[in-house]
Amino acid sequence: MKTLWAPWRIEYILGPKPDECIFCIPEDTSEDEERLILYRGEQSFVIMNKFPYNNGHLMVTPYRHVNTLTELTPEQSHEVMDLVKECTRILQTLFTPDGLNIGLNIGDAAGAGIEEHLHFHLVPRWSGDHSFMAVFGETMVVPEHIQSTYNRLKPYFEELK
């Protein structure tokens, strides 16, 4: 049997969970790289998942702390969906995946890890990317370091400004 090392995961598993909502970000942009924020719009922003299911796992979320689509204003809804479309384009250009999982989990029963603040997930997928590892080995494989992925994605989001 082979050993697959993912030492960065232990930070999440054993580390303290934040008391504040991770999607309620400060207006100050000085921590954007550390927080993995790729883009800030007027109503919403794009952030990388710090503990991704796959390389390029992005999330689009409104600034406003809401937990369901029906609480979004038309302007917020519009910008969130525009950013989901832009993220799709960027991920398809940069990563050339075979497919994308794009989803929104509303409520704990639906799988929302952070149910109090609405966020869309975009996960690039490749045929045979790691399904067998998750099923048989109970292991996820993310082949690129998250900071490298951030550095590759950031220039594409700079173009949106």
Residues annotated as catalytic (active site), given as ranges: 119
Question: Look-up: residue for tokens 């799988």?
Answer: 111
Q: Please report, for the chain, how many H helices and E strands are present, in that order.
A: 5, 5
The rounded distance, in Å, linking the Cα atoms of 8 and 16 is: 14
Could you give the CA distance from residue 28 to residue 41 in angstroms, rounded to a whole number?
A: 14
Cα–Cα distances (Å) from 62 to 46, 105, 140, in that order, read 9, 15, 28
Q: What DSSP element (H or E) covers 93?
A: helix 74-95
CA angle (84 as vertex; 96, 30 as ends), nearest 5: 95
Q: How many CB atoms lie within 10 A of CB 117?
A: 17
